[in-house]
Amino acid sequence: MSKVKVRKKEKEIVYRKKLIRRRKPNRSIFGDLALYLFLAFMGVIMVFPIVYAVNSALKPLDELFMFPPKIFAINPTFDNFSDLFVTMGKSWVTFSRYLFNTVFITFVGTAGHLLVASMGAFVLAKYDFPGGSTFFKLVTVAMMFSGYVTAIPNYLIINALGWVDTYWAIVIPAFASPIGLFLMKQFMEGLPTALIEAAKIDGANEWKVFSSIVMPNVKPAWMTLIIFQVQALWNNKAATFIYSEERKTLVYALQQIQNGGIARTGQAAAVLVVVMIVPILIFVFSESQILETMASSGLKD
């Protein structure tokens, strides 16, 4: 390329940069203000249930029955939480046992679902094999059926396998949730095939490609999948399959306290906060990582 062409190219780049600097947004100041006010209003609406639930848990009994109800606690107290733990301590199954059951089901179910969905999605997205498209169509159709429709077939299968009244009655079906496979497959299709082929040329095997190349680049998808699965399993009462009290989940035990009548209204408010705190924390930490990953790692062919 001649020096004249290089200079023209440089002048063109400088001119474009000046145009970009001079470019102004199409919205006016009033438009920006209206947009911010709308976003602030929607934010208040979304955070209001959480604020009200936390304040209800901090209210003494006389404020809980106050009419008209107050949003914020006038005399905040932790008596509702202390009463809740006292009531749980009187149960012949300890609070720690209920907590262990829920944490075990949530952790194993989420980890297994993430692994199975990711590996299946990788094969469906990056390999052509007979019946692959048909299988994915079946997965898509399976998403149309709610848990109420599949409850009886699931129970019959789990009963035939001898898993009733065990953790596996909740954990194993969580592995096969269709939403995870669908989400991961759709996301992996946007991953450049050239990146995978380059890794294979460098000598990487299938597992190395999957664990070191594919999974780090689809982090937004599996972080979102973790949010969905943790929320589903943490709030699962498992009352349909688990009958032994020592295997019951924390949510089931807390809801039994919640159904204790008017005398336990304060404890019921505390139960709501205890149940929702873990999914909210998981969402907050995962959501920040999702935004960071989506902003910094975009690959295109």
pLDDT digit string, tens, across residues 194-246? 888 888 888 878 888 888 888 888 887 888 888 888 888 888 888 788 888 78
- Asked if 146 and 205 sit in the same domain, the reply is yes
Does a structural domain hold residue 14?
Answer: no
Q: What is the pLDDT of residue 299?
A: 45
Does a structural domain hold residue 166?
Answer: yes
Does a structural domain hold residue 35?
Answer: no
Does a structural domain hold residue 144?
Answer: yes
Confidence of residue 287 (pLDDT cuts 50, 70, 90): low
Q: Backbone dihedral region of 203: left (phi > 0), alpha (psi from -120 to 50 degrees) or beta?
A: left
- Asked if 154 and 217 sit in the same domain, the reply is yes
Quote the CA–CA distance of 80 and 60 in Å, as a whole number: 7
How much is the average pLDDT of 258-274?
75
Q: Does the pLDDT of residue 22 top 80, yes or no?
A: no
Tell me the DSSP string of 69-94: PPSS-SS--SHHHHHHHHHHHTSSS-
Average pLDDT, the chain: 78
- Asked if 272 and 130 sit in the same domain, the reply is yes
- Asked if 64 and 177 sit in the same domain, the reply is no
Quote the CA–CA distance of 82 and 171 in Å, as a whole number: 32
- Please give the residue range of the domain that contains residue 64: 46-77
**Domain final residue pick, 27, 57, 77:** 77
- Asked if 144 and 230 sit in the same domain, the reply is yes
Q: What is the pLDDT of residue 289?
A: 59
3-class DSSP assignment, residue 224: helix
Q: Does the pLDDT of residue 300 top 70, yes or no?
A: no
Percentage of the chain surpassing pLDDT 90?
2
Does a structural domain hold residue 189?
Answer: yes
Whole-structure pTM value: 0.72
- Asked if 108 and 157 sit in the same domain, the reply is yes
Domain count, the chain: 2
Does a structural domain hold residue 272?
Answer: yes
Does a structural domain hold residue 64?
Answer: yes
- Asked if 65 and 130 sit in the same domain, the reply is no
- Asked if 128 and 62 sit in the same domain, the reply is no
- Asked if 73 and 165 sit in the same domain, the reply is no
Quote the CA–CA distance of 171 and 105 in Å, as a whole number: 6
Q: Does the pLDDT of residue 100 top 60, yes or no?
A: yes
- Asked if 94 and 224 sit in the same domain, the reply is yes
Q: What is the pLDDT of residue 4?
A: 53
pLDDT digits 0-9 by tens, 127-151: 888 887 888 888 888 888 877 788 8
- Asked if 72 and 176 sit in the same domain, the reply is no
Q: What is the pLDDT of residue 297?
A: 43
- Asked if 292 and 166 sit in the same domain, the reply is yes
How much is the average pLDDT of 31-36?
82
Percentage of the chain surpassing pLDDT 70?
83
Does a structural domain hold residue 227?
Answer: yes
Name the range with the highest mean pLDDT among 3-7, 174-178, 193-197: 174-178
